[in-house]
Structure formats: structure tokens, C-alpha cells
Chain A
């Protein structure tokens, strides 16, 4: 069961790309990585679930906790889940995650203020 949280860039922002199955066993890795990124990227970051194969309620809870902590810290967060990623989209919809987690279906929906700032320097 391959699982990996990798650092990347989405829409000009620091991002965590989650590969494999996000469940009880692997969710803590995402939680740790997100906590670190929240410190180092106060201008905002993205959790990219495009290549995620599976999401269970533990993974969903972890996303909610990350969203709650980001909100409390004033760090803008986007969770990217393309509509085509059915195995992940379904639990998100069933658990009504959208009310608690800032979801986007495409990178273009993320405000690219950071990218503009980079372009200006």
C-alpha cells in the first residue's frame, strides 16, 4: 500500500500532494506535514488530493482538523479534489466535508495572489 505526502507547488502556492490511500494509518503523516507547512507558509498552502486513491473517515477528519487549525492560524488553505476523483469525492460529499473544508475542484479556482507577487519580484 503506497502512501506518500510530497511537497509541490499548485497555483503558485506551496502544496502537499497526497498519493495513495489516506486512512487511519496514513492520515497522521499528512497531519504532520500540514502542521509544518502551516508554520513555513503563512501566506497559504494547498492540499492536493488529485492523485489520492482512497479517503476514509479518519482521512476526512484529518482534513477537517487541518482546516480548523489553518482557520485558527489565519493561514489560507485550499483542498484540491477534482470532480473526476470519484473514490475521494464520494466520502467528501457523503460526509458533507465542504461545509468545514475549503474545497476546490481545479487549481484555477485558487486565487493566485502569491504567483502574482512572485512575478513582480
Chain B
């Protein structure tokens, strides 16, 4: 399998070919390079003597006194404005074209005789031509006008407007030709037909002509610039001799004369006006070529204002869908995913696509025909990471996705914020491309110097089926997707701040505004919200029971924000109901665990319940996965390690157990959430020790005790902290 490598070598060799410094010119003119201001000729093309009657010397030697004076006057100004300077040499009219490079004045002398001239009539019509160009409403129209007028002006047998795609393949999008010629319209040409260094040259030099592809090169003498010691730079020359590979290419196509004008859109080579002549050598005069270049430059300026007519297909429809979906998003900011996927108009209707994916709040929803869910994320991520929002050939960018071509050859993706996104998928559309000759045929020829690129010999139309590509995405479709994503991101932001407000309000209802007055019991509560989150999952409750006893509850639901607050509210009310009915705290926890299993699957909470008899001081304790409560008496404080079971929502049927203790005299009971001790600098054990110390030695009255505990432990504000203190009076 060495053939591809040989091809690459040959292509590289071709790309290396020094097309800007060929050391020779074409024979339809003479090149003289002179130093300034003495105008001493230091480089001459070898045909100077034959055409101009002399070589060497100074430029003055070639010109009449009048013409020499005009030349010197021109040199003082902008050379672009004087070209061409029409002079008379040995009785013959010559167009003298001037430019400077690397410290030398390059003068090129082109005989007027032998050139085709469109004549004054055409030039008088120039304003009409320009008006036609600028009146073109579409790219197709502009291209047709351009091809027709350039052909009228220059008289070539065929004038084509050639457009490059992203991979530098070319397509003939407009053509004006001699009627008997076979049409080239719609043909594609591979990128290698115009190698990279030629495209680079075409971006700086707008116009090239080869009047006779069968020409004999005219060497420069000497071939180097004596000021720099390097080969004379000819990229700005009108006579530059071209690559023999290119001449062979033209000959294979049957082209005798060719000319091309660059079309450049905002600095990037967009296409070419490509002119062919078959009947024989053909040389439009320098002024006519200038006019053709001027038309090319004018069209280039118009390019950004025109879109291909297909590009606007569905524009109105897509805009209408964008408005409908945006309105739906505005109506239901709390159910964005539903608004986009379950209503009459879904994201899939926004633009023509086979499938769509909506990822909001981390939840992925798929509509229509899409890759499987687990493949959507990696594909979208790979494209976004590569900075690509739309592709009609995803597998060329993400090779892993080649097997997804059937549903996702085309992908359009817009981020919504965070990891969320909207994406649309288009299926593989088999597309027929007609190449001007088989672009894959071998193009290398073995020579003594190794493989050399040999231009294509066959230009017979050759059709190819392109796979793993979809219908392309229009710019206005990408823009509509971005608009919708922007509205979604804004709605999500609004919702987040709204959620915080709601959750805050909800949590305030979970925390008692005022503790109930229970005879014989002193109660205190403290709640400190987390600085990161408006709402944590902590809650506490005091439930006076019909028996005269008092249930004291402290719980913590896993999670934060509105969802956790809503679960907390449900658990609080469910636990109240069970406490009022059940035989004791453990039975109430069994009931609450059932509630979670049946109504809130997946949720988890810890809770501790202390049931106090104010008369006797008896306390029944049961804990579901909560940190132990602290019992402080006259001899110090101890954690109550009995009566504990797993957190709620973990096991189907745990059997919670209870433990009993008595609050005697000044005894205090402290219930707390993990935020109080968990993040102590020295660890949980140290936090628990510090809490026991603070309670054991602190004030007996619950209000003062809680303040003292908070002061001593100073828990970080990264989690919410809840404390309940109970004593008998």
C-alpha cells in the first residue's frame, strides 16, 4: 500500500513548485527589470532584442524622448494608475505595464498588435454592465451576468464562474460559451486541480493569462535579482511563465488559451472567472483584461450581499416556527422541555430535520429519528468541543460517529448553557456529484527525479455518489437555532432566580415562625441557611400529641433547592400524620419510610424524633440514619447511640427501634443537623467532641445554650445548620 504515499509525495512536490519565481516569461511580451533612478536595465528577457530591437542599457534607450519623459513622470506617482503606458517602440504600439518588487522596477512590454480589442463601444457600455451586476438579486444571476459580460468583453470561447467549496473542490455555477461547445455547467473539479500555492497566488494577484498554452518559455537573463541575489519574484508580473504541469493540464483539456480572474470574498479566495479558448491562441488587450479584472473585483464586492437562492429556502417558515416556539417557552418557563417536545409545535418542527435532541436541566429528550441516547451526548460534545455548530458530514469531523450516518450525517447543535443543548439531526442523503473527469485516477508519473504530478488526462464527466453527508444546513437555520437557544438560556436564568425565591418562601413555611408554647417545656430553635444555597434540606417540627406528649422532629432531605424543599414539605406533613396516629416514634418512621417508597421513590432523608412526656420527663427516641442526639445532664453530656436505624428511602421494610431516657432536673436534649459538626476543621470526631464540651459546660436555658453552641462551634456557612434545644421547666 505505498501508492497513496507516492501520490502525496508528488502532490507535495507540486505544492513546492516555485510558481512565483519561474525564471522565465511568456513570449507575448518583454520583461526588463531596472534599477532606479538611473533606469539601468539589470534583467532582460531573452526576447528583448528580437521584439524591442535591443537589450541592456537604460530604459531611456528604448523610448522616444517624449515617452521617456512620460515614464519618468509616471514613476513619481501611483503605478497602478498609469498602467498601461502606451508607448511607441520602433514604430509599433506597445502597452508598458509597471510595478515594483524587491527594489527593482519591473517593466513589461506587450505589443498591441496581435491583441484582440473589444473596442471603445464595449467600454462605453461599462456603466450598463456595472448596473446589471449590482442589480443582480441572487448569486446565480450575478454569476450569469458576469460570465456573459466577461465573454462579450474578452471574446473567449468559454467563460465559466467557478466556485470553491470548503475543501477547495470547485463547481461551475455559471457559464457562457460558444454554442457548439459541450456544457461544463454543474461539473465539479477536485481541489488538486488548482494546488494550494496557486490559490495563494490568486489571492494576491487577481488576473492571469496564457495567450498560447503551446508557448516556448523565454528565460530571464540573469534569472536572479542582482539586489537580493535571489530569483526574480514574478508573482505580480503579467508575463509570468506558468508551471509546465499546468500547461499539460490545459493541453489535456484541449485548451489553447486561458485566462482567469480571482473572485475574493472578504479576503478569501471564493472562486474564479475561468476563460478558455479552443480555436487557437487568444490574447485580449491589456486594457480589456483590466476591464475584466475590474468586473471581477466589482462582483467580489457584491458577493457578501448575495446568497444562493436555495439558501433562503424555508426562511419564512423557520422564522414563524422560531416565534411560535419562543412564545411557548415564554408561556411555560417551568416546563421548558415539555414546551419544546410535547406541544403541537416541537423543536423538530423548527427546521427540516429527521430528529432532534433537547437536553435541559441535564435531562435528554429525543424526537424523531436520532442516534441512540447514549451516542447523542458524545457526538454533540465532540462537535461543540471542536467549535462546530453545523455540519452536513459529521463523520468527517467525528470518525467514531460514522456508524450513525443513517440518522445523523448532518448535525446542528447549539449550547443552551452549562451542559445543556439543542440539536437537530439530518439523515444521510445520497448525493450525485458529477466531476469533470475522475478525480481519483492516478496522477503521478514516474520520472528520473521520482514521482511527479501528472495532470489529469481525462475530463469526461464522471459521476460519484457521495455518502455520509446530509442536506446542508442553511445559515438562516443555524441562526434560528441560536435564537431559540438564547431564549431558552434566558428563560432558564429567570427560572433559577424565581426558584430561589419560591424555595426560600417554601422553606420559611417549613420552619416554624413561632414555637408552640407547651406547658412545662422550654424550647429553642436555630436555623442558619447555607451561603451557597437559599434552601437546604433541613426541617424541624414540634407536634403536640393528643396524649399530652410532644413530638420533636429534626430532619434533613438529600438535595438542595426547590425540589428538595418540596420533598421536605411532603415528608413533614406525612410524618405529622403518622406521629398523630402511630404507637410511637419508631412506628411513625416505619410509616414514613413506606410513604417514601410508595410516593417519593428515589428520595432519601434522615430524621430523628424525640417524644417527650412533659410531666415525667420521659423521652422516647428513634432515628432514621440521623446523627445521634445529645443528652446533657448534671454530670456532662453524652450522645445517645441507641434507637437508630437506616435512613428513610434506603430499605423496603426496615424496622426502626426506640430507646428511652429521662430528662431530669436541668437536663437538656440537643437535636442538630450534620452541618453543625461535619465540617469542623479537625474532622467530624473533633466536631462532635467540641459540641459535647460546649453543651456540657454551657447554659441550661435552651435559648442561651443554642447561642453558646453556635458561638463555640462556629460552623462554616457551606451547609445549612439546624439546632433544637429542649429542657423542662
Q: Give the residues in chain A near B684, CB-CB below 8 Å.
A: 56, 87, 90-91, 94
Contact A57 B606 (CB under 8 A): yes
- Per-residue contact bits, chain A 47-64, to B (CB 8 Å; 1 contact, 0 not): 000000010111001001
Known contacts: A54-B683, A56-B679, A57-B606. The answer to whether A96 contacts B644 by CB under 8 A is: yes
B685 lies within 8 A of chain A by Cβ: yes
Known contacts: A57-B674, A86-B685, A91-B684. The answer to whether A99 contacts B651 by CB under 8 A is: yes
Contact A65 B627 (CB under 8 A): no
Known contacts: A24-B719, A64-B646. The answer to whether A99 contacts B678 by CB under 8 A is: no
Contact B558 A96 (CB under 8 A): no
Contact A100 B646 (CB under 8 A): yes
B155 lies within 8 A of chain A by Cβ: no
Known contacts: A57-B674, A86-B685, A87-B684. The answer to whether A100 contacts B606 by CB under 8 A is: no
- Per-residue contact bits, chain B 657-698, to A (CB 8 Å; 1 contact, 0 not): 000000000000000001000110001110010000000000
Least CB distance from A79 to B in Å reads 14
How long is the Cα–Cα vector from A99 to B657 in the complex, in angstroms? 13
Q: Give the residues in chain B near A15, CB-CB below 8 Å.
A: none
- Per-residue contact bits, chain A 28-68, to B (CB 8 Å; 1 contact, 0 not): 00000000000000000000000000101110010011011
Quick one: which of A58-88 are within 8 Å of B by CB? 58, 61, 64-65, 67-68, 86-87
Q: Give the residues in chain A near B654, CB-CB below 8 Å.
A: 99
Contact B685 A95 (CB under 8 A): no
Least CB distance from A93 to B in Å reads 9
Q: How large is the interface on B (under 10, 10 to 19, 20 to 34, 35 or more residues)?
A: 20 to 34
How long is the Cα–Cα vector from A68 to B649 in the complex, in angstroms? 9
Tally A residues with Cβ within 8 Å of B.
20
Least CB distance from B529 to A in Å reads 15
B485 lies within 8 A of chain A by Cβ: no
Instruction: Please pick, from A56, A87, A90, A95, the residue contacting B625 in the complex, using a CB distance under 8 A.
Output: A95
Contact B685 A96 (CB under 8 A): no
Contact A64 B647 (CB under 8 A): yes
B436 lies within 8 A of chain A by Cβ: no
B521 lies within 8 A of chain A by Cβ: no
A-B contact count (CB 8 A): 59
Q: Give the residues in chain A near B685, CB-CB below 8 Å.
A: 86-87, 90
B52 lies within 8 A of chain A by Cβ: no
Least CB distance from A103 to B in Å reads 12
Least CB distance from B399 to A in Å reads 23
Contact A68 B627 (CB under 8 A): no
Q: Give the residues in chain A near B650, CB-CB below 8 Å.
A: 64, 67-68, 99-100
Known contacts: A86-B685, A87-B683, A95-B627. The answer to whether A100 contacts B651 by CB under 8 A is: yes
How long is the Cα–Cα vector from A56 to B678 in the complex, in angstroms? 6
How long is the Cα–Cα vector from A15 to B571 in the complex, in angstroms? 36
Q: Please indicate which of the listed interface residues B556, B627, B678 has the most CB atoms of chain A within 10 Å of its own CB.
A: B678
- Per-residue contact bits, chain B 620-662, to A (CB 8 Å; 1 contact, 0 not): 0001011110000000000000001111011100100000000
How long is the Cα–Cα vector from A57 to B623 in the complex, in angstroms? 15
Least CB distance from A49 to B in Å reads 14
Q: Give the residues in chain B near A64, CB-CB below 8 Å.
A: 604, 625, 646-647, 650
Beta-carbon nearest neighbor of B651 in chain A? A100
Contact B625 A100 (CB under 8 A): yes
Q: Give the residues in chain B near A57, CB-CB below 8 Å.
A: 556, 606, 627, 674, 678
- Per-residue contact bits, chain A 9-21, to B (CB 8 Å; 1 contact, 0 not): 0000000000000
How long is the Cα–Cα vector from A65 to B647 in the complex, in angstroms? 10
How long is the Cα–Cα vector from A94 to B683 in the complex, in angstroms? 14
Contact A100 B647 (CB under 8 A): yes
Q: Please indicate which of the listed interface residues B604, B628, B647, B674 has the most CB atoms of chain A within 10 Å of its own CB.
A: B647
How long is the Cα–Cα vector from A54 to B201 in the complex, in angstroms? 65
Contact A96 B604 (CB under 8 A): no
How long is the Cα–Cα vector from A57 to B628 in the complex, in angstroms? 13
Contact A94 B651 (CB under 8 A): no
Least CB distance from B238 to A in Å reads 67
Q: Give the residues in chain B near A87, CB-CB below 8 Å.
A: 683-685
Q: Give the residues in chain B near A100, CB-CB below 8 Å.
A: 625, 646-647, 650-651
Contact A95 B678 (CB under 8 A): no
Least CB distance from A92 to B in Å reads 11
Contact B678 A65 (CB under 8 A): no
Instruction: Please pick, from A24, A65, A68, A99, the residue contacting B645 in the complex, using a CB distance under 8 A.
Output: A99
How long is the Cα–Cα vector from A94 to B623 in the complex, in angstroms? 11
Q: Give the residues in chain A near B645, CB-CB below 8 Å.
A: 96, 99
Contact B674 A65 (CB under 8 A): no
Q: Give the residues in chain B near A94, CB-CB below 8 Å.
A: 627-628, 684, 688
Known: A94-B628, A95-B626. 15 other contacts (CB 8 A): A24-B718, A56-B678, A56-B679, A57-B556, A57-B606, A57-B627, A57-B674, A64-B604, A68-B650, A90-B684, A91-B678, A94-B627, A95-B625, A95-B627, A99-B650
User: Would you list the 5 A-B pairs with minimal beta carbon distance, nearest first?
Assistant: A100-B646, A100-B650, A99-B646, A57-B674, A96-B644
- In the assembled complex, 18 residue pairs joining A and B whose CB atoms fall closer than 8 Å, in A order, are A54-B683, A56-B684, A57-B556, A57-B627, A57-B674, A58-B558, A64-B647, A67-B650, A68-B650, A87-B683, A91-B678, A94-B628, A96-B623, A97-B646, A99-B646, A99-B650, A100-B650, A100-B651
